[in-house]
């Protein structure tokens, strides 16, 4: 199994608002994250 937890392109401090990784009893690994959108605050 390969699990890539490396940040995505255009990584910057504060980009990831929250992240979750869960291993279920049957061995299934699930996860997700919420990030700030590119250009947040731009006018």
Banded model confidence at residue 15, pLDDT cuts 50, 70, 90: confident
User: Which one has a higher pLDDT value, 15 or 2?
Assistant: 15
Confidence (pTM): 0.52
Residue 14, pLDDT score: 82
Q: Enumerate residues 6+ apart whose C-beta is below 8 A from 21.
A: 5, 29, 30, 31
Banded model confidence at residue 23, pLDDT cuts 50, 70, 90: very high
Is the pLDDT confidence value at 13 over 80?
Answer: yes
Helix (H) or strand (E) holding 22: strand 16-23
Is the pLDDT confidence value at 18 over 60?
Answer: yes
């Amino acid at each position: 199994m390969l699990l890539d937890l490396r940040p995505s392109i255009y990584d910057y401090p504060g980009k990831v608002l929250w992240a979750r990784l869960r291993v279920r009893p049957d061995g299934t690994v699930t996860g997700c994250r919420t990030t700030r959108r590119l250009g947040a605050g731009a006018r």
